[in-house]
Amino acid sequence: MARRVRRSGLTMPINTPRFVDRSWTRNCDYLNFDFEDSVPQSQKAYARTLVAHAIAQGLKGGADITIRINCAYPEADVPAAVLPGVIQINFPKAETAEQMRNLDRLITEAERVQGIRPGTVYIGANIETTLGVTNSYEIASASPRIDTFSGGTGYDMSMDMGVEMFVGFDQFVYNCGEGALVAKALGLEYTGSVYLPDTSGNVGDRDLTRKRAEANRHAGLRAGGGLHPNTVQPQNIGLTPTPEEVQEAQRILTYFAQLDEQAEVEGELDGRMVDKYEAARAAELLEWSALCAQKDAHKAREQTRTTALEAQERAQA
Amino acid sequence: MGDRIRRSWLIVPAHDDARLEEAARAGADVIVLDLQDMVHDTKKHVARARVRETIPRLCAQGAEVFVRADIELLYADLHASVWRGLSGVMLSGVTSVAQVQEADSLLGALQAERGVVRPPPVGEILEADDPVSPEQALELHLCFDTGRGNWDAVQLIQASTRVKSISLGRADLVMDLREEPSGDLHLMPYLMQRLIIIANATGVQPIGAWWRATSRGLVASDDDTLAAAITGRQAGFKGGLCMRTHQVAALNKGFTPTEEEIAQAASVLTAFAEARANGGGSARTDGTVIDASRTAIAANLIAWVTACTKREQGRATVVAQTQATAQPRA
């Protein structure tokens, strides 16, 4: 499976047209249309009829489309959610491997019915409860559709643990450690975040988002997401390597290639030790930088095309 | 007989004469001859060929000697390494029970074939000479530097009775763990605490130091190494790995309790003994309670210090013997 770029993404209720119809203008790497917590019970059935429209809106901006379903009734949600253009189904409050196997079966059937190539649709297993944390390994290894994993944080997790979320210290060390280790044990991409103190809980704080994104980039983490449009650009920028970093990575690779030719395994470049691990890190950064550039070009192309089309439509009207 | 004192594990490429020479006199409790990461593929055979002659030279300076083998090249690496004086083998990148079992059986076969036994604690005399005695079995040290290895740590440890110590090896590099805003390496506090718990639960020695991102772990400065060793000892590690000779003193120091700690522990023992003599179950001094478990902690510390002192005496004895043999009386 190819490595995906998802520096920024917005989760929004699929039944709120003013969010969905403007979603393509946000410049997100992905959009997560929600069937779950942001949709009231009375609207759940209606929400299931809105997927094709939401996909069309989201794709106008070049974003990847994901759908968050309800954990309680995947049988109803999955057939409605798996349509051409959807790349991932997010399963909230994942707690058991059986839930993942069931979800995998439902997606397989939906792919068959829709004529989507088998294995196209990923599963996002969201750990948001203590039971989910204790079953992390079984959950993450239950389906080959799971290619990324991280530990449990967030509102639901806090609620289940009986703690406040924004207290200024990291209450989730164990959850996140477990999630990261499971991801690494299974060879999945870890999509967690480093910890930064946050006592405000403001979901639209540009500065904090940017700071966190940069800290994540330095720690080698690559994924973001949020609830407020203010988070999108700070994450797009903060998670993309700077030109200086790219240049430095190229120097390290060149230097390491020279070392290797001399049958040496390590050396010093400007007072910094370089070995095969540093070289691998530099190579990863270059790969990541290229993927970001590709994604940015794709989004720009789609957004330009959509803007032109809409201008044309207005002119004809 | 308890754990051996191994505060500093200095890893040196097996083919690098200059670094070996320097390492021999560094005062490391353990010197690890590396056949893995620090040796270029084109130099592996040269490095292997050096191991047999190098082991006694390092033992003669009062060090215990391990070899770090490449898990993919295990057969050749172990055949090159199992010679008189070797204490054990360090395996990094271990991910499966089968790998540990393979190492175990290779060591067993080579020990029997060559009559090699694990040497006694440095400075002591070997009384028996039995390659199949558990006391004299060559050891394995497992480095859990991958996600898989860490996740399956318990099974891997239990795969062989030779496993006596474990570490995270170079997990920060292998797993590409980088700096957090807090200054810790991402995931490392969790991994270190997990390793210490697993080591104690399975009865092996946890080796490591509380490396932070500002120091590049195994090649850190003296001050950073000392800080990592002190915090590491407080967290439960018994000794740390390093790659530079100058770090050895910092590790030995950091993993040996300070005079102040020793005095404190001694006063705890005294106070508790007095309380007991007077019919009490616990004592109070300066607002603290001294009960049986606190006393046991103090007794452990004193036992550890005593063992550290004995380790240094062992080294001195061996070095003196070596010098005496090198300069025979006219």
Q: Please tell me the predicted confidence (pLDDT) of residue B2.
A: 56
Chain A, residues 9-48, CB within 8 A of chain B, namely: none
Per the CB < 8 Å rule, is B170 touching A260?
A: no
Are B145 and B238 found together in one domain?
yes
Between CA A299 and CA A27 the distance in angstroms is: 7
Q: Please tell me the predicted confidence (pLDDT) of residue B327.
A: 73
For residue A3, tell me if it sits in a domain.
no
Are A173 and A288 found together in one domain?
no
Q: Which one of A238, A253, A274 terminates a domain? A: A238
Q: Which one of B212, B227, B254 terminates a domain? A: B254
Q: Please tell me the predicted confidence (pLDDT) of residue A1.
A: 57
For residue B146, tell me if it sits in a domain.
yes
A50 touches chain B (CB under 8 A): no
Are B154 and B213 found together in one domain?
yes
Q: Which one of B210, B229, B254 terminates a domain? A: B254
Chain A, residues 196-235, CB within 8 A of chain B, namely: 196, 215, 218-221
For residue A1, tell me if it sits in a domain.
no
Q: Which one of A238, A273, A296 terminates a domain? A: A238
Are A60 and A93 found together in one domain?
yes
B45 touches chain A (CB under 8 A): no
What b-and-e string marks burial along A268-286, b requiring 16 or more CB atoms within 10 Å of the CB?
ebeeeebbebbbebbeebb
Are A57 and A178 found together in one domain?
yes
- Reported as a single tens digit per residue, the pLDDT across B51-76 is 999 999 999 999 999 999 999 999 99
Are A66 and A181 found together in one domain?
yes
Which residues on B lie below 8 Å from A276 (Cβ)?
37
Point out the residue among B175, B180, B189 whose CB comes nearest to the CB of A194: B180
Are B206 and B274 found together in one domain?
no
Q: What is the DSSP string of B150-218?
A: HHTHHHHHHT-TTEEEEE-TTHHHHTT--B-TTSSBTTHHHHHHHHHHHHHHHT-EEE-----TTTTGG
For residue A290, tell me if it sits in a domain.
yes
Chain B nearest CA to A297, separation (Å): 29
For residue B67, tell me if it sits in a domain.
yes
In total, how many domains does chain B have?
Answer: 2
Q: Which one of A238, A255, A288 terminates a domain? A: A238
**Could you tell me if A156 and A126 are in contact, meaning their C-beta atoms sit under 8 angstroms apart?**
no
Per the CB < 8 Å rule, is B181 touching A281?
A: no
For residue B2, tell me if it sits in a domain.
no
For residue A4, tell me if it sits in a domain.
no
**Closest of B28, B95, B77, B86 to residue B53, by C-alpha:** B86
Q: Please tell me the predicted confidence (pLDDT) of residue A156.
A: 87
Q: Which one of B254, B278, B298 terminates a domain? A: B254
Q: How many CB atoms lie within 10 A of CB B125?
A: 5
Are A267 and A225 found together in one domain?
no
For residue B1, tell me if it sits in a domain.
no
Chain A nearest CA to B205, separation (Å): 22
For residue B172, tell me if it sits in a domain.
yes
Does B217 score more than 70 pLDDT? no
Domain that holds residue B142: 8-254
Find tokens 């989760």 and name the residue: A11
Are A254 and A234 found together in one domain?
no
B15 touches chain A (CB under 8 A): no
- Reported as a single tens digit per residue, the pLDDT across B219-275 is 788 999 999 999 999 999 999 999 999 999 999 999 999 999 999 999 999 999 998
What residue in B sits closest to A212 (Cα-Cα)? Answer: B181
Q: Please tell me the predicted confidence (pLDDT) of residue A94.
A: 96
Are B195 and B238 found together in one domain?
yes
Dihedral sign computed on CA atoms, order A210, A215, A216, A217: positive
Between CA A197 and CA A52 the distance in angstroms is: 39
Averaged over B166-181, what is the pLDDT? 90
Q: What is the ipTM of this complex?
A: 0.89
Are A230 and A302 found together in one domain?
no
CA distances from A285 to A238, A239, A248, B39, B139 (A): 14, 11, 10, 26, 39
Are A221 and A295 found together in one domain?
no
Per the CB < 8 Å rule, is A265 touching B191?
A: no
Point out the residue among A184, A195, A263 whose CB comes nearest to the CB of B42: A263
Look up the CATH number of the domain holding residue B79. 3.20.20.60
Per the CB < 8 Å rule, is B148 touching A273?
A: no
The end-to-end CA distance of chain A, in Å, is 44
Are B96 and B213 found together in one domain?
yes
Are B154 and B198 found together in one domain?
yes
Are B298 and B169 found together in one domain?
no
Per the CB < 8 Å rule, is B147 touching A184?
A: yes
Are B222 and B313 found together in one domain?
no
Are B318 and B243 found together in one domain?
no
For residue B177, tell me if it sits in a domain.
yes
> Which regions in chain A score pLDDT beneath 50?
none
- Reported as a single tens digit per residue, the pLDDT across B271-304 is 999 988 988 888 887 778 888 899 999 999 999 9
Which residues on A lie below 8 Å from B170 (Cβ)?
277
Per the CB < 8 Å rule, is B40 touching A265?
A: yes
Are A167 and A102 found together in one domain?
yes
Are A197 and A307 found together in one domain?
no
Q: Please tell me the predicted confidence (pLDDT) of residue B1.
A: 37
Which residues on A lie below 8 Å from B181 (Cβ)?
194-196, 215
Between CA A13 and CA A18 the distance in angstroms is: 10
Point out the residue among A174, A195, A284 whose CB comes nearest to the CB of B180: A195
Per the CB < 8 Å rule, is B178 touching A220?
A: yes
What residue in A sits closest to B213 (Cα-Cα)? Answer: A219
pLDDT band at B176 (very low <50, low <70, confident <90, very high): confident
Are B135 and B150 found together in one domain?
yes
- Six token digits for residue A57: 């809106």
Are A259 and A162 found together in one domain?
no
Summary mean pLDDT of chain B: 93
Domain that holds residue A134: 9-238
Which residues on A lie below 8 Å from B216 (Cβ)?
273
Are B169 and B188 found together in one domain?
yes
Chain B, residues 120-159, CB within 8 A of chain A, namely: 146-148, 150-152
Beta bridge partners of A9: A30
Averaged over B6-14, what is the pLDDT? 97
Between CA A89 and CA A92 the distance in angstroms is: 10
pLDDT band at B328 (very low <50, low <70, confident <90, very high): low
In total, how many domains does chain A have?
Answer: 2
Per the CB < 8 Å rule, is A177 touching B194?
A: yes
Chain A nearest CA to B167, separation (Å): 16
Per the CB < 8 Å rule, is B179 touching A184?
A: no
For residue A2, tell me if it sits in a domain.
no
Between CA A102 and CA A98 the distance in angstroms is: 6
- Reported as a single tens digit per residue, the pLDDT across B100-146 is 999 999 999 999 999 999 999 998 887 667 767 788 999 999 999 99
Per the CB < 8 Å rule, is A194 touching B187?
A: no
- Six token digits for residue A41: 């019970």
B179 touches chain A (CB under 8 A): yes
Q: Please tell me the predicted confidence (pLDDT) of residue B207.
A: 98
Are B126 and B185 found together in one domain?
yes
Chain A, residues 126-165, CB within 8 A of chain B, namely: 137
Look up the CATH number of the domain holding residue A57. 3.20.20.60
Q: Please tell me the predicted confidence (pLDDT) of residue A226.
A: 93
Per the CB < 8 Å rule, is A195 touching B181?
A: yes
Are A183 and A61 found together in one domain?
yes
A276 touches chain B (CB under 8 A): yes
**Closest of A279, A285, A213, A281 to residue A245, by C-alpha:** A285
What residue in B sits closest to A178 (Cα-Cα)? Answer: B190
Per the CB < 8 Å rule, is B37 touching A186?
A: no
Per the CB < 8 Å rule, is B170 touching A277?
A: yes
